[in-house]
Structure 1
Amino acid sequence: MEGVEDAQGLLRIGPSTRVVLHDLGVRRDGDEWIVGRTSTRIFVAVPAAGARAVELLGEGLSVARTAQTLRAETGEEFDITDFIRDLAALGFVARIGDRPVPDAEPPRASLPWLRAHRVRFALHPVLPLLVGVLVSAAAAVLVRRPDLLPGYRDLLWSPHGSLVLFTGAAAGWALLFAHELAHLVTARAAGVPGRMRLGTRLQFLVMQTDISGIELAPRRHRLTAYLAGVALDLSVASALVIGLAVTDAGTTAHRLLATALVLALMPLPFQLMVFTRTDLYFVLQDLTRCRDLYGDGLAYARYALRRAVGSPGPGTARDGDPSARLPPHERRAVRLYSVVLVVGTVACLAFMATVTLPADVTLLFRAARGLGPSHGLAGNADSAAVLVVLGGVNVLWLVTRWRDRRSRRSGR
């Protein structure tokens, strides 16, 4: 009988069973195919026979007809029953026979009113050329006017520390939001819902945009989505350079433009920290054709550490090397990336322990001691600003870190 559960609680699937699949996307990627459901952001890599099975089942062929067609095309036998159950476990199957398959509620997308047809311009091939022209114009200005290059002193545009702190934080978060919005808009133009949220990368509090589903898009669209934030940062910085060139030095407008330029440039070096899965990490992962560069790199780093310290564990033997199962091109990329991952992570954590954390603690203690009637209005205002801005960022980091760890434990 179709659609009846067996003793193990699994749906019994017979030769005549037909299934109804959810709307799935399929894209060839080398020798494999990416199959996924954009609404739930779940994607898997399957061999060519698996992609063909998805196609045949989607056309309404029964289990027996699908297996027969695959046998005729490939000369091999396939267990279509287990394959259907695997697809159902991934949430790819809507119905098995006359029985609906329970479906989890898909994650909510950010800014759902932002429709793909309204932001289609984000994928227009002319847009990168316009960004290139703007950046080139700014570079030409800096060659002629090197005095416009900003420095850290440009952040101190006002003698009032609290004003500098608050405006810097407001402008920094606004630029960060615009950076992530660029990712969201570009992904939405490619038909990917996308979701913006706060996250952590080692000791850094970041905004991040989940654009799972972009894997099914053409490579140009994928790279455009990955690089959209960097392109926006460079465009803003370039426009500010041009603005500095046409304003008089010493004016408030000039000082504010210089401050904004420093804030726009500050996130760019962070993008080089690919061991924290920055935008450039996803570009690197795509160009090296790796499935999970970070996950595989971390697994290989742990394996290499076990071997270095002489711990037996499951990775001592050759067949225990987690990178051995990967194709040669992925294996080389993963092993090289594991070195970058370890060195970069150790350097970041060491910098936090020796510089960032002591500085933050010192500033917070000074701010706490600076409160009180004996310190005057200006002193109390500056101390309160430090506690609110610096303390708030650290508390937000802790809350975000705790939320992410809880989500990982619950499998959400």
Structure 2
Amino acid sequence: MTDTAADDQPRIDPSTRVRLHDLAVRRDRDEWIVGRLSTRTFVALPAAGARAVELLGEGCSVARTARILRAETGEEFEVAEFVRDLAALGFVARIGDRPVPDPTPPRASLPWLRPHRVRLALRPALPVLVGVLLAAAVVVLFRRPDLVPGYRDLLWSPHGSVVLLSGAAAGWTLLLAHELAHLVTARAAGVPGRMRLGTRLQFLVMQTDISGIELAPRRHRLTAYLSGIALNLSVASSLILALTLTDTGTTAHRLLAAALLLALLPLPFQCMVFTRTDLYFVLQDLTGCRDLYGDGLAYARYRWRRLVRAPQIGPRSPRITRADDPSTRLPPHERRAVRLYSVVLVVGTAACLTFMAAVTIPLDVALLVRAARGLGPEHGLARNADSAAVLVTLGGINVLWLVTWWRNRRAADRRTRG
């Protein structure tokens, strides 16, 4: 039987030349990041690999590329196999006279938002303006400590349904603005970006995939990672300044104070780097790690297997030795960061799941049961409205978390099988 799949593969011989798609290249320590922004695909290559990409892009044949690399490094390279790897990544447009099937790029959010329209987001003056606004707010709080927000500021109305619905609307609006800040700064750097719902442990989040930003200069990368936090701080700072213009006790003052707290509430969550928050990507970039979360998880699993199997070792039991340590294959600077991060990952995840089991789930169940019991003709209109608001808002969020988790899980399984 003929292998038609194999027959469809373009033949690569020493005289073959290839045409590459537009690729971005950036040096990172001892490696080179090579990628294609339109498909958000990138790979880390050694210097010889980056040089091979350069030579192939200039039109050198497979044989000539191999000869130049041998002359420059003194080593032999399987350039034909390297071309096949590049084609699998979607970096090759043609092999010889045959086009290479191009994978459909992921859909970008707000495609009408062109890079030249949002270039202002990467201007160096913008972080300075954010800093000035934040400094002004800190000065105001130092002089007016009564403006420091507390949890009671959220209870701006005596009607719980009004507080719940308005808080949910304001919270999701701020969340959308936070993610839009990531999208705008990434788009300004030429990265398409895509916003979607996701889950982080027990948290329902909106996240922006800005894969490809790794190819941008460091200042642009950090700007894209921190833009959401900068937006929250800017909104909070503006609200603090606005509070000084309103009288304490007025409805306007109470609404501004509630909005201030809602703008600040997401910031502590950003410190939970074990859930891959914005600060996680900053940490990953500054430590020079390729996949801090994945490598940290692999190292934590290795330590767990050693701990569990140690008492069970028998004459025929497979031993888990230091040679099985996945972190030993990493460069020294990555190895240290990964091992430290694995501790944060394990402790933080355990704390979050414990809090969910001990507090979040019992509280949600109690609120939902109370709301269900508050429905019926024997209760007044206000009680029914409050109960319905709790059921719709709290119940809807939990259902949305389950649907989002299931959808993303199935998508990940399809990618794994594919």
TM-score bracket, shorter-length normalisation: over 0.9
Q: 1:187 to 1:6 in 2, by over 3 A?
A: closer
Aligned twin of 1:237: 236
1:208 counterpart letter in structure 2:
Q
- Structure 1, residues 22-81: CA drift from partner, whole Å, max 9, x if none? 111111101100111111111110100101111111111111111111112111111100
Aligned twin of 2:104: 105
Aligned twin of 2:216: 217
Q: 1:64 to 1:259 in 2, by over 3 A?
A: same
Give the structure-2-normalised TM-score.
0.96
Deviation larger for 262-271 or 310-319: 310-319
**Aligned match for 2:401, one of 397, 401, 409:** 397
Matches within 5 A, 1:268-283: 268-283=267-282
Give the structure-1-normalised TM-score.
0.97
Alignment partners' CA distance in 1, 2:319 and 2:259: 50
1:285 aligns to what SS in structure 2? helix
**Can you give the 5+ residue segments of structure 1 that lack an aligned partner in the other structure?**
none
Alignment partners' CA distance in 1, 2:43 and 2:145: 50
Aligned twin of 1:129: 128
**Can you give the 5+ residue segments of structure 2 that lack an aligned partner in the other structure?**
none
Is 1:353 the counterpart of 2:357 in the alignment?
yes
Contact kept? 1:35, 1:46, Cα under 8 Å: yes
1:95 aligns to what SS in structure 2? strand
2:326 aligns to what SS in structure 1? coil
Aligned twin of 2:50: 51
Matches within 5 A, 1:103-252: 103-252=102-251
- Percent sequence identity is 79
Deviation at 1:152, TM superposition (A): 0.7
1:148 counterpart letter in structure 2:
L
Deviation at 1:8, TM superposition (A): 7.1
Q: 1:358 to 1:38 in 2, by over 3 A?
A: same
Alignment partners' CA distance in 1, 2:319 and 2:338: 16
- Structure 1, residues 367-409: CA drift from partner, whole Å, max 9, x if none? 1111110012111100100010000000000000001100100
Aligned twin of 1:383: 387
Alignment partners' CA distance in 2, 1:318 and 1:67: 37
1:13 aligns to what SS in structure 2? coil
Alignment partners' CA distance in 2, 1:191 and 1:164: 40
Alignment partners' CA distance in 2, 1:11 and 1:322: 36
Is 1:291 the counterpart of 2:290 in the alignment?
yes
2:75 counterpart letter in structure 1:
E
Alignment partners' CA distance in 1, 2:292 and 2:399: 31
Contact kept? 1:244, 1:258, Cα under 8 Å: yes
2:328 aligns to what SS in structure 1? coil
Aligned twin of 1:90: 89
Alignment partners' CA distance in 2, 1:39 and 1:315: 45
**Aligned match for 1:365, one of 369, 383, 397:** 369
Deviation at 1:89, TM superposition (A): 1.0
Deviation at 1:94, TM superposition (A): 1.2
- Structure 1, residues 299-334: CA drift from partner, whole Å, max 9, x if none? 000000011112679882222100000111100000
Contact kept? 1:6, 1:12, Cα under 8 Å: no
2:301 aligns to what SS in structure 1? helix
Aligned twin of 1:258: 257
1:171 aligns to what SS in structure 2? helix
Deviation at 1:12, TM superposition (A): 2.0
Aligned twin of 2:343: 339
Root mean square deviation, CA, Å: 1.5
Deviation larger for 99-108 or 274-283: 99-108
Deviation at 1:10, TM superposition (A): 3.9
